[in-house]
Amino acid sequence: MSYIDVQNLSKSFTLRKKREKGKLLREKTEIQALKEISFSIGEGELVGYIGPNGAGKSTTVKILSGILTPDGGSARVGGLIPWKERKRHVQRIGVVFGQRSQLWWDVPIMDSFQLLRDIYRVPEDQYKKRLSNLTDALDLGAIMKTPLRQLSLGQKMRAELCGSLLHGPGLLFLDEPTIGLDAVSKLALRDFLKEENEKKGTTILLTTHDMEDIAALCSRVMVLGHGKKLFDGQLSHLLSRYDTVRVIEVRYGSGILPPLPDCCRMERNGENYRITYEPEKMPTAQLLSLLQGAGEIRELTAQPQNIDHMIAAMYKEMDL
């Protein structure tokens, strides 16, 4: 029995265009944000949910967190229909919208947490334990008494995450939680999410554009495009189909780069040459001997393809 069960979920929005000259009324267009998507997620899974901007990811999250009412289809989360049994449903979930804030702008974050404790009716002893765990894990101790408006983006995001987890939800929706974070904060956040998932068994649906997040956290991904589900399965399967090129960076001590066949793409960056090639067409050994014949190589690094490039190639092929 799966924890989240979505069947043929649809949602459309009406957009009003700017009024055209000579016409009395504005034209309306309907946009299908979700076109009959179905999926299920088991308890304790950590699933990545990706797709280009406007694909309908956030709409899905908003429906599953009981905010929006869908036009058609059904969804059950832990046996409840989110938009019908909203109050009971939201008591058990946590949501982080990366671009919005749930904490109060002008008071210390501690006060916001206390309000959330009261809103979710968390018993005092449980709250204390939970808060001290989260304070340690998210490194919030030093900023507990600081008003939200004085925090940096990374501190804010950690505080937001703490706010969403105070009531110990079994299910967590994360909508772009790492947006705008620096490398250190990002890594810390990932570690925390991984632990929350592995140790506490929290089910997590992670929406993001940061493919590093997905690669680090999720074994399963769902790809959404134009409101349709295009892929659902292992990240490695998805990538192997698009992982067709390799990159070699080379720097010469003496000599210059020889002319390369057409199937290789070359970019020059100062003294470094960056060569992108497809091993299918140009075997690596052949390329290397070509490079070596031209002079004395000082430095050479081989890199896998950037994951963002793979996703871009996938979106392109899927016509997104």
Partner 1 sequence: MKAYLAIFRMRLKMETQYRGAVIGGVFCQMFFGLILVALYRALYAGRPQALPLSSVITYVWLQQAFFRMVLSSDGDLADKIRTGAIAYDLCRPLNLYGYYYLRAMAMKLMGSLLRAIPMLVLAILLPDGWGIAAPQSLPHLLAGLFGLLLGLLCVCALENITMAITMRTLDSRGMQAMLNLLMMILSGNILPLTLFPDSWQKVITLLPYAQLLDAPIRLYTGEWALSQFPRVLCIQGAWIVFLVALGLYFWRQNQKRIVLQGG
Residues in contact with partner 1 by CB under 8 A are: 13, 58, 62, 65-69, 87-88, 90-91, 93, 95, 97-102, 104-107, 111, 114-115, 118-121, 147, 175-176
Are 63 and 54 contacting, i.e. CB atoms less than 8 angstroms apart? no
Q: For residues 263 and 271, what is the distance between their CA atoms, to the nearest angstrom?
A: 22
How far apart are CB 263 and partner 1 at their closest, in Å? 40
Q: Which residue, 101 or 292, is less far from partner 1 as judged by CB?
A: 101
Q: For residues 282 and 262, what is the distance between their CA atoms, to the nearest angstrom?
A: 10
37 CB-side CA count, 13 A: 30
Strands in 149-209 per DSSP E: 171-175, 203-207
Q: Which residue, 81 or 119, is less far from partner 1 as judged by CB?
A: 119
How far apart are CB 274 and partner 1 at their closest, in Å? 34
Q: Which residue, 102 or 276, is less far from partner 1 as judged by CB?
A: 102
Q: Which residue, 107 or 247, is less far from partner 1 as judged by CB?
A: 107
How far apart are CB 310 and partner 1 at their closest, in Å? 24
Q: For residues 205 and 75, what is the distance between their CA atoms, to the nearest angstrom?
A: 15
Q: Which residue, 194 or 226, is less far from partner 1 as judged by CB?
A: 226
**What b-and-e string marks burial along 282-301, b requiring 16 or more CB atoms within 10 Å of the CB?**
beeeebeebbeeeeeeeeee
Q: Which residue, 51 or 277, is less far from partner 1 as judged by CB?
A: 51
How far apart are CB 106 and partner 1 at their closest, in Å? 5
How far apart are CB 50 and partner 1 at their closest, in Å? 15
Are 28 and 14 contacting, i.e. CB atoms less than 8 angstroms apart? yes
Alpha carbon distances (Å) from 199 to 192, 221, 233: 10, 21, 23
Report which of 247, 220, 224 is spatially closest to residue 236, judged by C-alpha positions: 220
Q: If 0-12 CB within 10 Å is exposed, 13-18 middle and 19+ buried, where does residue 168 land?
A: middle
How far apart are CB 223 and partner 1 at their closest, in Å? 19
β-sheet with 295-303: strand ranges across = 265-269, 272-277, 246-255, 295-303
Q: Which residue, 14 or 269, is less far from partner 1 as judged by CB?
A: 14
How far apart are CB 82 and partner 1 at their closest, in Å? 9
